[in-house]
Structure 1
Amino acid sequence: MAEMFLEKFRSLVPLYLEDEWQVEDGLTESEIEDALSEVGSPIPLVLREFYMALGGCEDLMEAYHYFFDPDELEIEDGYLLFLEDEEEKYVWGIRVDQLEVPDPIVYRRQNARGIWKSEEGTFSEYVLDMFTWVFDELSPELNN
């Protein structure tokens, strides 16, 4: 299968961490498959390639929000959950009926209300925008 997103995700390591991407920054296909056997659900190509590129890179996997490890993925309310904020007020997911889409739309749930809302962007768009926000816009505020 052709890689669509892998290099773009790998490029985040030198961009934001000022270091070369290393094999240890990602997970192998077999590590992902082993972890997913516990989940019992397929994942979109973009999420698979995200884990292949960054699944072992804690500095990005836990940058402001926390990406679930592949074995922590779970399905709730008809969504595959993959990310939550530090205070557990919000969780992000992909609709289970869209898991076969290579780069599906991301939704956010406000946990207190249980209401899902579209982020109006695909996983790749959302993740790239989130890292830009965290490292380019939020980082100076965190350092003051």
Structure 2
Amino acid sequence: MPEMFVDKFRALVPKYLGRKWSEEDGISYDELEGLLGEHKFQVPQALVEFYHALGGCEDLMEAHDFFWDPDELEIEDGFLLFLDEMDEEANWGFRTEHLAVPDPIVWIRTNTGKQRWQSEESTFSEFVFDMFDWVFNDDENDDDLQD
């Protein structure tokens, strides 16, 4: 299947880290095949390409929240979990019935009080770009509020 998102994900390294993307920032497809091959579920193309582009880049994989390592992905409550909120108050995932969709809608589960899932109303790629923009531009927004 042709790559849809790899170049856009790789472009996040120079945009937010101020350096060129390097091979060490990603995970090779061969290594990913081994890491993901044990799962008994399909992993959406956008998430595979995200790992290929950025799976080795701790500065992005753990920038604010924590993306799960490819071999740690799991299904819980009918969702494939891929991201934990830094204080473990929320998780993000995809509905299992949408795993064949190349760029599925992301859902969030709040873990405080009664657990419930709610749509983020954005695809994985949109969610990632928006999340990193929020994480890396948050200080600028805080400065704007203080002016």
The TM tier, using the shorter chain, reads: over 0.9
Q: Distance in 2 between matches of 1:20 and 1:37?
A: 30
Who is 1:48 aligned against? Answer: 48
Q: Return the TM-score normalized by structure 1.
A: 0.94
Q: Return the TM-score normalized by structure 2.
A: 0.92
Change (3 A) 1:16 1:90: same
Who is 1:128 aligned against? Answer: 129
Q: Distance in 1 between matches of 2:87 and 2:30?
A: 32
Who is 2:10 aligned against? Answer: 10
Q: Root-mean-square deviation (CA), in Å?
A: 1.5
For residue 132 of structure 2, what is the amino acid of its counterpart? F
Who is 2:120 aligned against? Answer: 119
Identity of matched residues, %: 56
For residue 67 of structure 1, what is the amino acid of its counterpart? F
Q: Distance in 2 between matches of 1:28 and 1:139?
A: 34
Q: Distance in 1 between matches of 2:36 and 2:115?
A: 26
Q: Is the 8 A contact 1:39 1:72 kept in 2?
A: no
Q: C-alpha displacement at 1:31, in angstroms?
A: 1.3
Q: Distance in 2 between matches of 1:93 and 1:139?
A: 28
Q: C-alpha displacement at 1:38, in angstroms?
A: 3.0
For residue 30 of structure 1, what is the amino acid of its counterpart? D
Q: Distance in 2 between matches of 1:78 and 1:139?
A: 37
Who is 2:93 aligned against? Answer: 93
Unpaired stretches in structure 1, ≥5 consecutive residues: none
Q: Distance in 2 between matches of 1:44 and 1:56?
A: 19
Who is 1:84 aligned against? Answer: 84
Q: Distance in 2 between matches of 1:82 and 1:138?
A: 26
Q: C-alpha displacement at 1:138, in angstroms?
A: 4.0
Higher CA-based Rg: 2
Who is 1:65 aligned against? Answer: 65
Number of matched residues?
A: 142
Q: C-alpha displacement at 1:36, in angstroms?
A: 1.2
Q: C-alpha displacement at 1:140, in angstroms?
A: 7.1
